[in-house]
Every structure is written in C-alpha cells, then in structure tokens.
Amino acid sequence: MATRDYWIAPSILSADFARLGAEVDAVLAAGADVIHFDVMDNHYVPNLTVGPLVCEALRKYGVTAPIDAHLMVKPVDRIIPDFARAGASYITFHPEASEHIDRSLQLIRDCGCKSGLVFNPATPLHYLNHVMDKLDLVLLMAVNPGFGGQRFIEGTFAKLREARRLIDASGYPIRLEVDGGVKIDNIRAIAEVGADTFVAGSAIFNTPDYRATVAALRAELAKADA
Ligand code: DX5
Ligand code: ZN
C-alpha cells in the first residue's frame, strides 16, 4: 500500500521559550512540517502556557509554516476568533471543553481555520458521529493532557485503528494526529495503525541535533507499512 503523507509536528511545549522564534525556525529547518502550539489554561488542564499573543508573535517573526493550535482551554469559544486572528492554521479543542461541539467546530471554520477535535485517552470516539463533515483533523491524545515528556499509553493503538476506520468510512480528507509520548522507537508502529500526523515535543526538543532527530523519525516512517 502507498505510504501516507506523513507530517511531523514538533510541540513547542518542550522548546526553550526564551528563544521561541529561533527554536521554531530550527525545527522547521530540520524538516518539520507543522508547529504544534499547546495552549493550557490551568483550568481544563493543570498547567499554564501561552495564548494568541505568542502565536501572533511567531507570525510577525516570520514563521509561515502551518500552526496547529491545540487548545486545552475551557470554555473554548471565546478564544477561537483570537487564535484565528493570531494566525493559527488549525484550531483543535476537546469535546469536554465545549457545551456545543458543532457550534465550536463551525466557529473555527467561519474564522477561516481548519478544525479539529481532540480525544483524551478515556474520551470515547462517539463524539465524531455527527460532525465528520465539519472536521479537518482528529487528534488522539496518547497521554493525559497537561505536560510534555509522558509515556505513550498503549491503548491508543487500538483507538487509532478505530479512528482510522471511521475517517476512511466517512470519505472526508481528515488528518489523524497523535499527541504524547511519540518517539523514534514507536513512531513506526503508530503510523502502522493509521496516524498520519505526529506531535513530538520532548523527542525533538530534548535532543541536541534537531535535524538528525527529525531525519530519524522520518526514516522510521519510511519503514511503516501504512
Ligand atoms: C500534552 C501536549 C503535548 C505535549 C507532547 O498535553 O498536548 O503536545 O507537548 O509532549 P511529548 O511529545 O514530550 O509527549
Ligand atoms: Zn498538544
């Protein structure tokens, strides 16, 4: 079978925030496809990171690559237009963080962005049932959200297979992203169950040579039997 169009999405959560623009430039120069931008509110998740100002600052700094804004924020609707104005390309949120999932998805698209739903390890995929036509991306968390550097939860493999089946059956061109604990030694197995977009924070930013690390991730993906 043909290999998929795989995207590597470094998570800025593990970057050096004092040098964020340079860090983003470095991972893009190293071959990354998308910048994964983790937004935490110390309410929906027990950590606090960055907001639309920092996304906008990256755009003003000159970053042109897609920015994948992963909103771990509740409630989420108020902040969606702000991220659109700040230059986010994808905006994703957790179904538990929205009282009206369909409305939030439409709001993202009305703002001109691509939309996605994020599933925590214990969140069932049935939230997809009636919104496939409003999705550009499905993101499965392989860790509980809030922190980088956690261990990949094995149950995510079966859930990815199920999500891949649902996406293929829908006929929509929806990307299947995985976030948390993705490393050189498991990315191939993750690709083989259907993921096409791979968030990697600590696996990239905690290494000295981003180019070598991204190349190693891609080499593993090249072996995947999609
Ligand atoms: C966790 C974040 C992830 C995290 C991934 O809540 O959504 O994007 O940064 O970090 P690693 O790749 O280190 O598990
Ligand atoms: Zn994330």
How many angstroms does the Cα of residue 157 sit away from the middle of ligand 2? 18
Q: Give me the torsion for CA of 155, 180, 90, 8, rounded to 10°.
A: -110
Q: Is 13 in the pocket of ligand 1 (CB under 6 A)?
A: yes
Neighbours of ion ligand 2 (CB under 5 A): 38, 70, 179
**Torsion, Cα of 205, 206, 211, 213 (10° steps):** -120
Q: Do 138 and 174 touch, CB atoms closer than 8 A? A: yes
Beta bridge partners of residue 179, listed in sequence order: 141
Architecture of 7-224 per CATH? Alpha-Beta Barrel (3.20)
| Tens place of pLDDT per residue across the chain (226 aa) | 457 899 999 999 999 999 999 999 999 999 999 999 999 999 999 999 999 999 999 999 999 999 999 999 999 999 999 999 999 999 999 999 999 999 999 999 999 999 999 999 999 999 999 999 999 999 999 999 999 999 999 999 999 999 999 999 999 999 999 999 999 999 999 999 999 999 999 999 999 999 999 999 999 999 998 7
Q: Which residues pair with 141 in a beta bridge?
A: 179
**Catalytically annotated residues:** 38, 179
What's the pTM value of the predicted model, to 2 decimals?
0.98
- 70 Cα: distance to centroid of ligand 2 (angstroms): 5
- Evaluate whether 172 touches 135 at the Cβ level (below 8 Å): yes
Give CA–CA dist 162/141, Å, rounded: 14
- DSSP-derived secondary structure for 76-93: -GGGHHHHHHTT-SEEEE
Is 179 in contact with 36 (CB distance < 8 Å)?
A: yes
Pairwise CA distance, residues 85 & 91, whole Å:
12
Query: Residue 138: enclosing H or E segment and its boundaries?
Result: strand 137-141
Nearest residue (CA) to ligand 1, atom 1: 145
- Listed in sequence order, the residues at least 6 apart from 121 whose beta carbon sits closer than 8 Å to its beta carbon are 141, 142, 143, 144, 153, 155, 156, 159
Strand, helix or coil for residue 100: coil
